[in-house]
């Protein structure tokens, strides 16, 4: 079994298959094949974040072939897009692990079973035939046939809130995420926002950037008090009750204009990071007939089954009494969902497959 990677039509380059392409996902390469044949797998996982990657591994452990689809062009979901360099402290077995390293480890764990990755494509429609086989079609036209679905889409499709003064500067010095801290080494960086992401990025960039300025429109911060205290004790310039009202430069950003109670001021900047939060949307999944809670979560039972038979969910997107939204909780939910999906696909299978130490599962 190969592990193909395909992405949406907005990318270029030949479609490739084989083990090396899974590695290329982590490296950020892009492949596409508009004429790619339909994909047939036992299980489809919607969402390539940490929980989805663990579900892909566990599907292989249970002897199921799997495909993973995600609207983002790279694996890792919110972790890769929003805080790849941020330490995560609540994953079992790791006193601290960077988001990027966690995703890399999960990919390495999953790739032994060669899941098919369909990246840069959004799961659009869900259909089920009389034989109980699902067909999920993406917005790029790729059709994935499977016997069960696990939705691990986190918060769904998320869109960064724009910086009004930054219109036209995206990709020319303005960004909404920090995929690589080292890309900003020696730069003057302006971070806009007052939440955890803004403060974390400002603190992480402070040792390697030439200067870091944090601009927040309020006096109070939404970030953890400890992070704000660290900022006040650092070399980061904090300008509060102010906004970035203009971005200047030739082809790329060179400076920003900041307006606050004291009037206007200018700061040099080769990079502007707008960490203003994001809006989340379940998108086309709303049309799949699933029970939705609070306009953003999927109701599940103790087996992680949704209201549509054969469709399960795991991770932040799920909702039930006592739900705790942590990556570590999502891992357990993924295992529960996959085990129950395995029994649904083959009723002769046992729900509990035994511990991984009891036997070495066959590699696809």
Q: Is 20 annotated as a binding residue?
A: no
d(C-alpha 169, C-alpha 93), whole Å: 41
Listed residue (106, 96, 104) closest to 52, CA to CA: 106
Q: Which residues pair with 255 in a beta bridge?
A: 248, 268
SS3 string, the chain, reads CCCCEEECCCCCCCCECCHHHHHHHHHCCCCCCCCCCCEECCEEEECCCHHHHHHHHHHHHCCCCEEEEECCCCCCHHHHHHCCCCEECCCCCCCCEEHHHHHHHHHHHHHCCCCEEEECCCEEEEEECCCCCEEEEECCCCEEEECEEEECCCCCEEEECCCHHHCCCECCCEECCCCCCHHHCCCEEEEECCCHHHHHHHHHHCCCCCEEEEEECCCCCCCCHHHHHHHHCCCCEEEECCEEEEEEECCCEEEEEEEECCEEEEEECCEEEECCCEEEECHHHHHHCCCEECCCEEECCCCCECCCCCEEECCCCEECCCCCCCHHHHHHHHHHHHHHHHHHHCCCCCCCCCCCCCCCCCCC
The annotation status of 158 as a binding-site residue, yes or no, is: yes
Question: Does the annotation place 335 within a ligand binding site?
Answer: no
Q: Which two tokens stand for residue 118?
A: 């369909």
Is 83 known as a binding-site position? yes
Is 78 annotated to bind a ligand? Reply is yes
Name the binding residues.
Answer: 70, 78, 83, 123, 158, 316, 357
Name the binding residues for FAD.
Answer: 70, 78, 83, 123, 158, 316, 357
């Amino acid at each position: 079994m190969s592990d193909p990677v395909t992405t949406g039509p907005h990318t270029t380059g030949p479609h490739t298959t084989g083990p090396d392409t899974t590695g290329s996902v982590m490296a950020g390469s892009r492949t596409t094949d508009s004429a790619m044949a339909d994909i047939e797998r036992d299980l489809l996982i919607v969402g390539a974040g940490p929980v989805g990657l663990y579900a892909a591994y566990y599907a292989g452990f249970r002897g199921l072939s799997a495909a993973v689809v995600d609207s983002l062009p790279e694996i890792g979901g919110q972790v890769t897009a929003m805080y790849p360099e941020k330490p995560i402290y609540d994953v079992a077995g790791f006193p601290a692990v960077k988001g990027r390293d966690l995703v890399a480890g999960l990919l390495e764990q999953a790739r032994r079973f060669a899941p098919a990755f369909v990246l840069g494509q959004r799961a659009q429609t869900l259909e089920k035939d009389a034989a109980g086989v699902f067909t999920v079609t993406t917005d790029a036209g790729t059709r994935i046939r499977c016997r069960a679905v696990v939705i691990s889409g986190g918060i769904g499709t998320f869109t960064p809130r724009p910086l009004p003064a930054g219109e036209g500067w995206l990709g020319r010095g303005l960004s909404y995420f920090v995929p690589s801290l080292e890309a900003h080494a020696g730069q003057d960086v302006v971070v806009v926002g007052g939440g955890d992401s803004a403060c974390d990025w400002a603190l992480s960039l402070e040792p390697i950037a030439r200067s870091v300025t944090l601009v927040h429109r309020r006096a109070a911060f939404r970030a953890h008090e400890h992070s704000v205290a660290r900022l006040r004790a650092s070399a980061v310039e904090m300008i509060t009750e102010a906004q970035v009202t203009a971005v200047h430069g030739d082809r790329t950003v060179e400076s920003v204009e900041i307006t606050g109670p004291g009037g206007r001021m200018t700061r040099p900047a080769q990079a502007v990071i707008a960490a203003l939060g994001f809006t989340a949307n379940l998108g086309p999944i709303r049309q799949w007939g699933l029970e939705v809670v609070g306009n953003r979560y999927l109701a599940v039972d103790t087996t992680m089954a949704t209201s549509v038979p054969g469709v399960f969910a795991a991770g932040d997107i799920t909702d039930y009494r006592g739900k705790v939204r942590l990556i570590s909780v999502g891992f357990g939910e993924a295992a529960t969902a996959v085990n129950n999906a395995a029994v649904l696909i083959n009723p002769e299978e046992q729900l509990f497959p035994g511990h991984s130490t009891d036997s070495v599962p066959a590699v696809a």
